[in-house]
Amino acid sequence: MDQERFYDITEVCRLLGTTSRTLRFYEEKGIIQSTTLGTSARRRYTEDQLARIKNVFVLRTLGLSIHSITELQAEENDLKNAVLSRRAEIYARMDTYLRELNLLNEALSALECGKPIFDGGRVPEDETEEKQILRDCAEAVVSGDVDRLYRHLSPRLIQYMPKDVYAQVRKDTLLPLGNFLSLEKFCSDEKLPNKQYCFLKYSRLGLKITVFFYGGKIDGLWLGYYDTNVGGWK
């Protein structure tokens, strides 16, 4: 009988281009597992465990949160089903995209006719302090300035997402995007005003930054994708 192969944590980090702290963080969240041999406390991984880690990295690159990955694993979905679930989620939001596109077309028509699009000279919602924070964070994501971004995060989010974990997630997410081109759009969620989005255009894909504000700080942060060819606004 062939002896089972174990991968040392250093070897796994090298294979996946990640850090041991990231692997420990994911293990603390329960989405990956490791194995210890004998009296050694050093983490090692079986072939099956390594395959699961690879799946988690793929899902994170696709924009799934740790909570979403946990739910998918609880349902015992494989990688294909997880991708299909993500695609179904995007399809379910297409009606929201179409509604917002119609609003944008109406605003554009009003502007072309010289009509105001805001009542009584009211300052647009996207000119609030939260928009300024979101803009600063978007620039920090693009430039890789971690300290600049973390100035705007809540203590809870900083504790939940250490800087090196964020840096690795950013690296994995930005890898398929290509070259940065422009900041395209800010908008708020129709049902949750404290949930806001920023859309950044890259040469291959678009980057969608989703944030939750609480108490003047960002208490939730997600990096995802949208298709720049169809303008996948959320």
Q: Spell out the per-residue pLDDT of the chain, length 234, in tens.
A: 456 788 889 999 998 888 989 999 999 988 899 888 766 678 889 999 998 899 888 888 877 788 878 877 777 666 677 677 667 666 656 656 666 666 677 667 767 776 665 544 344 444 578 888 998 899 899 988 999 999 999 998 998 889 988 998 898 888 888 888 888 888 888 888 889 999 998 888 899 999 999 888 999 999 998 887 655 444
Neighbours of 162 (CB within 10 A): 14
> Do residues 31 and 69 touch, judged by C-beta distance below 8 A?
yes
Residue identified by tokens 């192969």 is 5
Domain range list for the chain: 6-74, 128-226
Overall fold of domain 128-226: Nuclear Transport Factor 2; Chain: A, (3.10.450)
Name 181's Cβ contacts closer than 8 Å, sequence gap at least 6: 201, 202, 203
**CATH classification of 6-74 is 1.10.1660.10, yes or no?**
yes
Characterize 20-52 residue by residue with b for buried, 16 or more Cβ atoms within 10 angstroms of its Cβ, and e for exposed. Answer: eebbebbeeeebbebeeeeeeeebbbeeebbeb
**H or E stretch covering 108:** helix 94-112
pTM for the predicted model, two decimal places: 0.46
Nearest to 33 by CA among 75, 73, 84: 73
